[in-house]
Amino acid sequence: MGRLSVELCGIPLDNPVIPASGTFGYGYEFAELYDINILGSFSFKGTTREPRFGNPTPRIAECPAGMLNAVGLQNPGVDRVIDTELPRLARVFHKPVMANVSGFSLEEYADTCARLDPQPQIGWLEVNVSCPNVHGGGMSFGTDPAAAASVVRAVKAVTSKPVIIKLTPNVTDIVSVAKACEEAGADGVSLINTLLGLRMDLKARKPLLANITGGLSGPAVFPVALRMVWQVAHAVKIPVVGMGGVSSAEDVLEMLMAGAAAVEVGAANLIDPWACRRIIEDLPGAMDRYGIKNLKELRIES
């Protein structure tokens, strides 16, 4: 095990850097730019049972130190992912991959996860109860501890692989949701998903996004994400995957210090497709500057 190595739900990673769902496609597009096997893993595009076109355009809005998105879980559906996307991915990525799953009912979450569970390349199921850009699902499950726990129980009943629940920051108390997921049997939690935001089109005198609201990501959200990771990591015993505005090796070190077991990188991939490679390459130098021998020594106990 090298000085960058970590472990997530019992699965070893060469390093803690994981591109976040929705910012890395199904991997093979980035494999045309660099060898993506340098990554710890990555979380592929949010997948639902049926194909989804997503929200109407415009879906993206820029803002200072970040961006708003309201893509709306556009994806080809789980059967196409299994039949087409995973075989293409297997040719370029030779490590366990994280499957990100969204749904609009308990039955849909369970069915989609049950179909993905037997796939040999999938190491973890990251179950998204936090998408702010769809109606009738997603974040509606993640804002209530009891509802989030019900998703955990439904998925754990039909899967054998580690289940990581992706949490929304758009709540008063994220710790209560995380603890409810832990008590229901979740193997880990990941946080934060995007913060709900809005931009106006002054010329048209209406909201800029067709969906009206969108999810804020980018460097602006990093301090909020770091605070929530700290709170959750010191309240639960299961692993926490930290994310939200991460764009540098130093950001990764801060997330690990706050208690994260691994770190996802999101919007940075949309700005710089080589962002994750750069962060991984920069990690040893950043560790040397701060006298860090290995990543396992970083977490601060409260």
Residues annotated catalytic, as ranges: 131
Looking at the DSSP bridge assignments, the partners of residue 264 are 18
Q: Which two tokens stand for residue 156?
A: 């754990």
Cis status, amide bond into 284, omega within 30 of 0: no
The answer to whether 233 and 181 have CB atoms below 8 angstroms apart is no
CA dihedral 179, 171, 59, 86 (to 10 degrees): 0
**In this structure, how many other beta carbons lie within 10 angstroms of the beta carbon of residue 146?**
10
Q: Which two tokens stand for residue 201?
A: 């089109």
Phi–psi pair at 186, nearest 5 degrees: -60, 145
**Cα(149)–Cα(172) distance, rounded to whole angstroms?**
17
